[in-house]
Amino acid sequence: MDRTTDWASYLTQMEQLLALELDEARRAELQIQLARIAALAAPLMAFPLDDRLEVAGVFHP
């Protein structure tokens, strides 16, 4: 499954939700950084997990 994100659209929506105004230079840099973060996270997100995993124990001192 190919997942691509439209970072420009995402940033526009976040600007509206957070009542922010970004200039073009900052918006362009944020798009680059978000794409880099997504690329770094891709291998982790692609790691297959079982449908049911055993829950880790809880430490009680």
Given this model, what pLDDT does residue 13 score? 95
More confident position, 4 or 36: 36
Given this model, what pLDDT does residue 2 score? 52
Q: Is the pLDDT score of 56 beyond 60?
A: yes
Closest CA to 8 of 18, 47, 29: 29
pLDDT interval class at 54 (50, 70, 90): confident
Given this model, what pLDDT does residue 1 score? 44
